[in-house]
């Protein structure tokens, strides 16, 4: 500690001690003061700083589970296994398929969080994306996203043609008749706050009494609906007319 017998002014200095483990770094800052060499050193301030490097690294290697690439990954997984993933049995089935194809295990809890079946973190770890990409036959998550970019070069366009209805322009009680191939018909009634109930369903997996949320209906485009409650099951997402879109929309 620096001292000077001829100096009677206050002397202040910082002494910083650090200790680092694999995941954390601790920094202790001692701030001391001394007026002369006869007076004992007085500790004015001790500051402890802890930096979690593991948490920071984990965040850097994660992606939001609702980003378009991950949503597409989920759809491709369901197409690949030829099964909609929305029940506990479905997640058990998917976990088994992943093991059969990659010889790598993944918990059903991880899959449930990614599909939004249970609450969890908004981000998905890189290793999960790598594993699901390999399940589809790709070398890596990067390989899968590059495939998406190459096969879908243009993902945006203006809706210049085609009839469309915006839910904001509907009144409670308004009825719409939706049609799509092959010979599918649904009559839905607006309940308010973007929510609809199905009054009639023909030749479709949807049933009378099902409810869902939707903002836009566009002829010639697939209809993506959210919070579908089908036969009193857990809410899920659903797509109508995936290949050819809606063929007609009529307001009753």
For residues 61-82, average pLDDT: 86
The per-residue pLDDT for 186 is: 95
**Are 95 and 108 in contact, with CB atoms under 8 Å apart?**
yes
Give the CA distances from residue 60 to residues 9, 26, 223, in Å, rounded to whole numbers and listed in that order.
Answer: 49, 21, 34
pLDDT, tens only, 154-211 = 555 555 555 789 999 999 999 999 999 988 999 999 999 999 999 999 999 999 999 9
The per-residue pLDDT for 126 is: 92
Buried b (16+ CB within 10 A) or exposed e, 173-186: ebebebbbeeebeb
HSE-up (13 A, CA, CB side) for residue 5: 0
Judged against a pLDDT cut of 70, whether residue 27 lies above it is answered with no
d(Cα 190, Cα 188) in Å, to the nearest integer?
7
pLDDT, tens only, 72-95 = 899 899 999 888 898 999 999 999
């Amino acid at each position: 500690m620096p001292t000077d017998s001829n100096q009677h002014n206050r002397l202040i200095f910082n002494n910083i001690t650090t200790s680092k483990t694999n995941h954390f770094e601790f920094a202790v800052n001692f701030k001391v003061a001394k007026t002369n060499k006869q007076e004992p050193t007085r500790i004015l301030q001790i500051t402890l700083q802890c930096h979690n490097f593991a948490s920071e690294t984990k965040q850097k290697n994660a992606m939001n589970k609702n980003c378009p690439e991950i949503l597409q990954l989920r759809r491709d997984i369901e197409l690949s296994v030829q099964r909609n993933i929305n029940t506990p049995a479905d997640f058990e089935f998917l976990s088994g398929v992943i093991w059969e194809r990659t010889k790598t295990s993944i918990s059903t809890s991880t899959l449930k969080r990614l599909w939004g079946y249970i609450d969890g973190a908004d981000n998905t770890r890189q290793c999960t994306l790598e594993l699901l990409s390999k399940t589809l036959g790709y070398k890596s998550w990067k390989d899968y996203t590059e495939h998406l970019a190459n096969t879908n070069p243009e993902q945006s366009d203006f809706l210049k043609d085609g009839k469309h209805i915006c839910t904001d322009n509907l009144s409670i009680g308004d009825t719409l008749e939706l049609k799509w191939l092959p010979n599918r018909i649904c009559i839905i009634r607006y309940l308010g706050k973007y929510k609809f109930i199905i009054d009639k369903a023909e030749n479709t997996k949807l049933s009378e009494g099902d409810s869902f949320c939707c903002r836009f209906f566009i002829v010639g485009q697939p209809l993506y609906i959210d919070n579908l409650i089908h036969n009193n099951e857990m809410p899920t997402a659903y797509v109508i007319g995936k290949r050819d879109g809606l063929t007609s929309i009529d307001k009753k």
